[in-house]
Amino acid sequence: LGIKMEDLTLEDLGTAKNVKVTKDNTTIVSGSSDSDRVKARVEQIKSQIETSTSDYDKEKLRERLAKLSGGVAVLKVGGAT
């Protein structure tokens, strides 16, 4: 549903004024964003919703669109320990 990790570049990353990390949570506050890129991504997600044939994918894309439009995102990161 998104960009593959191997396709990311440094230009895809952003900045934040404050980051708080605990054992269970990471909170990123006052991140900056390029509003033109956010708008372009919103339009891309809307297009994906219209063309998707999977109800599951449509629902996940709608959730992503709502979070992106509302300025909130939840990132779940995992790894081998």
43 and 61 in contact (C-beta within 8 Å)? Answer: no
DSSP string, 26-79: EEEES-B--HHHHHHHHHHHHHHHHH---HHHHHHHHHHHHHHHHT--------
Q: What digits encode the pLDDT tens for the residues 17-49?
A: 888 899 888 777 766 666 787 888 899 999 999
Of 4 and 44, more confident: 44
Q: What digits encode the pLDDT tens for the residues 49-60?
A: 999 999 999 999
The pTM (predicted TM-score) of the whole model is: 0.52
Domain boundaries, the chain: 34-75
Predicted confidence band of residue 62 (pLDDT cuts 50, 70, 90): very high
What pLDDT, on the 0 to 100 scale, is given for residue 49? 94
What pLDDT, on the 0 to 100 scale, is given for residue 15? 79
The DSSP symbol for 15 reads B
Instruction: Identify residue 61 by its one-letter amino acid code.
Output: L
